[in-house]
Structure 1
């Protein structure tokens, strides 16, 4: 999917079409670009005649979220990969991802590790390891936060699950992808390939670097409420002793995640951290007593505990897979 990023789109497409994998077709959804996007695509078609490209150009810009929804509407194959127009994908990523997907019918979505870069190109990749993390669906939200969250810009989905999962930017704002991937994880397992699977471009014109479109306070609170609800639902299934320990762990994760989102979203534009904590108390995400304990012991006791647990869960979810280039 693309809009007015012709200079980046060329690199993204070259990285994809240098892939070791083969697939039926690539659909480029052009969101009414006014630059030379179409010329770039035509040049790429000449360079890679073996790759079948279908171009869909909207008559007018339908917005970022509606473009994602449109991708769900037109998805028709067994698997759907949604890539962004300003990143570069490792040449082995798709073939490796499909190897894991096709060997594990319970995996609903596969993703991979990233490096964030300003000057992204499609050259000089290292080899990817034949390992991945496997997050079970019964506690997927927990694994995404304690181990590592998937990388939205290179996800490959089972199409039947992708089409049934709702994009909800109206509630969660520009970070709706966080909840979207957690919703996917409730419908099936998630796999995360290790290594540099994508070079995620950072640039001043990216939506993630613009505060005018959010995130806003209510959107961040909605994301945190979602996570809190999912944590609580799983914790209630445990015995009393395990429930107490797991709640201690998940509340620490939620506290850290809330502080990360507060800082990343620059919510200090609207309210102080202490004021934000009061809003979270109103949402029943934390109690004042929990805040008092965290303020005093978060770095002395709770975060060291989380680091040990994170390593334990990271090792527990790690799996190996066999890979031969081009299936050889």
Structure 2
């Protein structure tokens, strides 16, 4: 049996999946099994796999599953020592499997290892990466240790498709809409970190694609609140925490900058004023406390 299982989740992205498969098949370490789990509403992906990659393991999900049920089903089917759940619009660096396996092999206490990522905007390979840190490896020792950079304004984290998991450490955990909603990947990883440490690698070993077909950039206030409720139940953080205030500032700032929310009915105008006051007050406080934050905002083109 191969040491690693890479499950490629696919859903109606025939324009991307060929390049994704090619990047996985080009790995410098080949002791892995690649499975395409196709949750598409049509047979376009199936035809691509049949025509160009007839040697691949392929599973068509009929009837279609919800995104969270698809993830849960895939996790229940994995039986290798390590596994990866990858997305059909991202790419792997040729040394991804090699480096991730090296880290997990060296430290048997780890539940997972996540890597940095270079950013693709549609078809353009940018120079941007997800996070910058001084140390080559960062060790996450608990769920609170894990969630802090998610909440801290201007911090960046390892992207979800960039993780390789030790199967025995995460068995029984699934994405749960009740525990984080749209952001249930965060609550899932918090639970992983609560079981055993996670390591983040500074190396960008995947290419993460932002495009109109994914919802990475969408901002849902109710879903943020659902994640916060999970955080309050599972950590010592509360509403008065500076980290929570920074997180609220970040998502309300995005809400305020979205002109679609500028509906000047009486209620919406009142809400707009409340949000604007909170963002202005909290943003001013943060910049007084940390003057360098304004430079980082400009650098990251948030304003």
TM-score scaled by length of structure 1: 0.69
Q: Is the 8 A contact 1:88 1:121 kept in 2?
A: no
Match of 1:159 in 2: 167
| Alignment-derived partner of residue 254 in structure 1 | 244
Task: Kindly indicate whether the alpha-carbon contact (under 8 Å) linking 2:252 and 2:275 is maintained by their aligned counterparts in 1.
Answer: no
Corresponding residue for residue 217 of structure 1: 221
Contact 1:27 1:54 in 2 (8 A): yes
Q: CA deviation at 1:143?
A: 4.9
Does structure 2 conserve the Cα–Cα contact (< 8 Å) formed by 1:86 and 1:201?
yes
Distance in 2 of aligned mates of 1:204 and 1:185: 31
Q: 2:207 aligns with which of 187, 194, 199?
A: 199
User: What is the rounded CA distance, in whole Å, between the counterparts of 1:263 and 1:44 in structure 2?
Assistant: 45
| Correspondence 1:96-245 to 2 at 5 A | 96-120=99-123, 131-137=136-142, 139-145=144-150, 148-209=156-217, 216-232=220-236
Deviates more, 1:6-15 or 1:222-231: 222-231
1:200, CA displacement in angstroms?
1.1
- Structure 2: how far apart are the matches of 1:262 and 1:225? 17
CA distances 1:240-276 after superposition (whole Å, capped 9, x unpaired): xxxxxxx99xx33222222223345678847547359
Gaps in structure 2 of 5+ consecutive residues? 1-8, 126-133, 262-267, 296-303
Q: Work out whether residues 227 and 254 of structure 1, in 8 Å CA contact, stay in contact via their aligned partners in 2.
A: no
Aligned to 1:23: 31
| Corresponding position of 1:12 | 20
More strand by share: 2
Structure with the bigger RCO (C-alpha within 8 Å, sep 6+) is 1
Q: Please report the RMSD computed on the Cα atoms of aligned residues, expressed in angstroms.
A: 3.4
Cα deviation, residue 144, structure 1: 3.7
Determine the C-alpha separation between the residues in 2 that align with 1:273 and 1:194: 40
Evaluate the alpha carbon distance shift between residue 138 and residue 175 of structure 1 in structure 2; reply closer, same or farther with a 3 A threshold: closer
For the structure 1 residues 28 and 292, does the alpha-carbon distance in structure 2 shift closer, same or farther, using more than 3 Å as the test? closer
Partner of 2:264: none
Q: Deviations over 1:186-220 (max 9, x none)?
A: 111111111322211121122335x5xxx543321
Summarize the Cα distance change of 1:294–1:206 in structure 2 as closer, same or farther, 3 Å threshold. Answer: closer
Name the residue aligned to 2:6.
none
Distance in 2 (CA, whole Å) between partners of 1:36 and 1:130 is 43
Answer yes or no: is the 8 Å Cα contact 1:30–1:57 preserved in 2: yes
CA contact (8 A) 2:109 2:196 kept: yes
8 Å CA contact 1:31, 1:61 repeated in 2: yes
Change (3 A) 1:273 1:7: farther
Give the alignment's TM-score, normalised by structure 2: 0.74
Q: In 2, distance between residues paired with 1:265 and 1:55?
A: 40
Given the alignment, which residue of 274, 284, 297 partners 2:285?
297
SS at match of 1:207: coil
Which runs of 5 or more residues in structure 1 are unaligned? 123-128, 236-246, 279-290, 308-328
